[in-house]
Amino acid sequence: MPKWVWHKLYGAVGARLDGMIEVVNFTKRFGRVAAVNDVSLTVKPGEVFGLLGPNGAGKTTTIRGMTGLTRPTSGTVRVAGFDVWREPVKAKGAFGYIPDRPYLYGKLTARELLRFIAGLHKLPKADSEIERWLEFFGLTDFSNELIETYSHGMKQKLTIISAMLPEPPVLIVDEPMVGLDPRAAKQARELLSDYAKKGKTVLLTTHSLPVAEAVAHRIAVLDRGHVLAEGTLEELQRRTSEERSGVEGNTLERIFFKLVEEEELERQRVKDAA
């Protein structure tokens, strides 16, 4: 069977079975430092997956690996069954990406930018959708102004629209709430939850425990490039309360600190043994 047929089948069926996002043994080194070390994740359709970790944990690096902005040192990343480095156009047609820093073309207006996105994704009849989105985020009044005059939050909203306008089956979001006012943050949270309810796949990173707790069905805790634990909120609670007695962990915050603490102890043990 030719390879492309296999890919087609895999893209259509395999992704359904295994998950829309598949990260297998992903490692990324910068020089000799591993920013992400042997991370594996699977995210299924209809799921909001949270990648949680402190600053510098490797969340952004993992996401850049999924979106083709960084080449894995080893391991593979597939979105909707397509390897982003082997079949970039197909993979990129299947996801929308919201980066942590919203750099956009300052000399375009919001409408022009969104029409440009629609053109890149070959969306037919995007005009009414664009109006609907601008209205949703309250950007209609500014829609003919140059983006360079927008505030950080307005640009962030615009990147959210850019990613969601083509209605991709997978949405990859890096620190979605940073720079948004409370109302917009709530809007964005609901948007992501509703998007998953439509059967789409959402992966988001955050350093904020409440955000992860509020929207994510499943969570992976990342620290210094390692996945410390992965599972639903209940599974994580069970794991941390079983393993060690003492502080009873039920909020994510407790769980988080406990995991980081365990990791710290383990590291110390290895060091002492050596």
Partner 1 sequence: MSSLTKVTPRDRVYNASLLELKWRGLWNSVTRGNPWAYVAAAVFVGAVVYGEWIGVFRALEYVCNAGRTFLDAKASCSIVGRSISSRVLESGLLVLAAGVTFSAITTAISTLYASDDLNFLLAQPIPAARVFAVKLLDTYLSAAGVPSVLTIPPLLAIGAFFGAAWWYYPLAMLAALITYALPVALGSSIAIFLMRFAPAGRVREVATGLGVVMSASLVYLIRAARPEELLRQLGQSDSDAAINKLLEALGAPSNPLLPSSWASDFIWTAARGDLNLSILLLTGTAAMMMLIAGWLASRAYLEGWVRGLESSRVKLDPRPRRASSMETALGRFGAAGHLVMKDARLLFRDATQWSQLLILVALGGVYVVSVRAFPIPLDSDQSLILRNALGFMTLAFQGFVIAGVGVRMAFPSVSSEGYGYWLLRTSPISTANIVLAKFWGALPATLILALCLGYFSASSLNLSPVITLSSVLVAFSSAFAITALGVGVGAAVPRFKSDNPAEIAFSAGGLIYMVLALFYSGLLVVIVARPAYLSVINPNAYPGLSYFATLEGIVVLGVLALVTVLGTLLPLWFGWTRLDRFE
Ligand X SMILES: Nc1ncnc2c1ncn2[C@@H]1O[C@H](COP(=O)(O)OP(=O)(O)O)[C@@H](O)[C@H]1O
Binding site for partner 1 (CB under 8 A): 67-71, 88-90, 92-93, 95, 97, 99, 101, 103-105, 107-109, 111-112, 115-117, 119-122, 127, 131, 140-146, 148-149, 162
Q: How far is the CB of 172 from partner 1 (least distance, A)?
A: 9
How far, in Å, are 58, 149, 260 from residue 265 at the CA level?
A: 21, 49, 9
The piece of 57-65, 89-97, 186-194, 260-268 that touches ligand X (CB under 6 A) is 57-65
Contact partner at residue 242 from Mg ion, partner 1, ligand X, none, CB < 5 to 8 Å by partner kind = none
Contact partner at residue 162 from ligand X, partner 1, Mg ion, none, CB < 5 to 8 Å by partner kind = partner 1
Residue 40 vs 241, nearer CB to ligand X:
40
- Contact positions vs Mg ion (CB under 5 A): 60
Query: Which helix (H) or strand (E) is 41 found in, with range?
Result: strand 33-43
The full length of the chain comes to 274
Residue 30 vs 116, nearer CB to Mg ion:
30
What are the beta bridge partners of residue 48?
A: 202
Task: Kindly list the strands in the beta sheet with 48-52, ordered across the sheet, starting from the edge strand earlier in the chain.
Answer: 95-98, 170-174, 201-206, 48-52, 218-223, 226-232
Residue 156 vs 237, nearer CB to ligand X:
156
Contact partner at residue 55 from ligand X, partner 1, Mg ion, none, CB < 5 to 8 Å by partner kind = ligand X
Residue 73 makes CB contacts below 8 A (sequence gap 6+) with: 27, 28, 29, 34
Residue 217 region by backbone torsions, left for phi larger than 0, else alpha for psi between -120 and 50, else beta? alpha
Contact partner at residue 97 from Mg ion, partner 1, ligand X, none, CB < 5 to 8 Å by partner kind = partner 1
The answer to the question of residue 216 lying near ligand X (CB under 6 A) is no
Compute the distance between CA of residue 182 and CA of residue 80 in angstroms, rounded to an integer: 32
Backbone Cα Rg of the chain:
20
Residue 64 vs 218, nearer CB to partner 1:
64
Angle at 218 between CA 20 and CA 175, to 5 degrees: 80
The answer to the question of residue 245 lying near ligand X (CB under 6 A) is no
> Helix axis angle, 152-164 relative to 182-197, nearest 10°?
10
Contact partner at residue 240 from partner 1, Mg ion, ligand X, none, CB < 5 to 8 Å by partner kind = none
Q: How far is the CB of 209 from partner 1 (least distance, A)?
A: 27
Residue 56 vs 88, nearer CB to ligand X:
56
What are the beta bridge partners of residue 240?
A: none
Q: How far is the CB of 107 from partner 1 (least distance, A)?
A: 4
- 89, 125 contact by CB (below 8 A): no
Question: What residues make contact with ligand X under the rule CB under 6 A?
Answer: 30, 35, 53, 55-61
